[in-house]
Amino acid sequence: MSDLASLEQRGLAELQESADEAALRAWNTKYFGKTGTVSAALKKVGEVPPAERRAYGQEANRVKEALTRAYEEQLAKAKEEKLAQNLAAESLDVTLPGRRVDQGRLHVSTQVLRTIFAIFADLGFQLFRTREVEDDLTNFELLNMPPHHPARDMWDTFHTTTPGVLLRTHTSPGQIHVMRAYCPKPIRAILPGMCYRYEAITTRSEIMFNQVEGLAIGDHVTMADLKGTIVAFARRLFGEDRQVRIRSSYFPFTEPSIEVDMDCIVCGGKGCSLCKRSGWLEIMGAGMVHPTVLRNGGYDPERFTGFAFGMGPERIAMLKYAIDDIRQFWANDLRFLRQF
């Protein structure tokens, strides 16, 4: 018991001599560490005669609590003194401007998408969103591609474990949804969204990408209306001097079908590596809506006509900013993203 009393007196005395926080923490390690003095005293309870063991244990715990309480008080006091010293030594100029908070930025794909939305909004098109998980009927059959139709090979498809359910390969199924939602009213809508294809990832292709589908249906919609819309869009997005070229193509849901090229924005049509020395860059596929698709959407093809087009915002961004690798859009490389 006398050893415990001596331990308490010695501990309190050394605690008072600890001038700063570092010294206090060293004192704590000396007395309460794994091999500390207090820890060793508590372990000696097994060496005390049984008749005195209870009294020794109670006194050892009292000493431990007393030293712990004194240490915590001394540590709090030392911290307060340190803070007071810092406040006295350092001045704070409250008139200084605050530190600027780093803000996030819109992804380049989102920026291009919003630009496309704004252009078509000015042209009178309404935004219409549709689902990304589709059924085979809407993704293919209602778009004039019955089972085993060879045109299905144009889209490498991600199928789910549920028969007939897949990830949409293009935004064209949205044509059926919007037609059935608004039939028999005229339509002028764009349908943006993510698409998925089971393809090899290269500098120009990805397994997931954005698309923007366009659809216009009315009593007297013609190919001239389609061409005027495309030219207006290209010049609003890429510049007033842009030249547009239309080539024949094939899509099962449009007839006639076309592909749209624009003179290269890098070389001005003279030929460079971006346009593969051709002077032209493809910007979208389009055409007049096939009568079968109109009928599947609820419109009478004898009365109504329409046009549709589809484009990839990532491909548009690659053309606009001369980006040579589509994988950059998904790499999350801050060096790339901070450019936009």
Cα(173)–Cα(24) distance, rounded to whole angstroms? 72
Q: Look up residue 272 and give its DSSP letter.
A: -
Local structure of residue 338 (DSSP, 8 states): T
CB 260 within 8 A of CB 246: yes
Query: In whole angstroms, what separates CA 280 from the centre of its chain?
Result: 32
Residue 288: CA count within 13 A, CB half-sphere: 14
Count Cα atoms within 13 angstroms, Cβ side, for 146: 1
Say what the pLDDT of residue 26 is.
86
The residue ranges of the chain whose pLDDT is under 70 are: 274
- Predicted pLDDT at 111: 95
Cis peptide leading into residue 49 (ω within 30°): no
pLDDT at 279: 84
Closest CA to 340 of 105, 102, 73, 16: 105
Residue 48, pLDDT score: 78
Distance in angstroms (rounded) separating the CA atoms of residues 23 and 29: 10
The span from the CA of 7 to the CA of 13, in Å, is: 10
> Which residues lie closer than 8 Å to 23 by C-beta, 6 or more apart?
17
C-alpha–C-alpha distance, residues 318 and 204, integer Å: 9
Six-digit token pair at 47? 């060496």
Confidence (pLDDT) at 268: 72
Tell me, letter by letter, the H, E, C secondary structure of 149-169: CHHHHHCCCCECCCCCEEECC
At residue 274, the pLDDT reads 66
Q: pLDDT, tens digit, for every residue of 236-293?
A: 998 888 889 999 999 999 999 999 998 887 777 787 776 778 888 888 999 999 999 9
Which residue in 298, 307, 306 sits closest to 183, CA to CA?
A: 298
Which pLDDT score, from 0 to 100, does residue 192 have?
96
- Using DSSP's 3-state secondary structure scheme, residue 60 falls into helix
Q: Please report, as a single letter, which amino acid is at residue 124.
A: G
Q: What pLDDT, on the 0 to 100 scale, is given for residue 201?
A: 86
Which residues 6+ apart lie within 8 Å of 48 measured at CB? 56
Asked if residues 167 and 133 have their Cβ atoms less than 8 Å apart, the reply is: yes
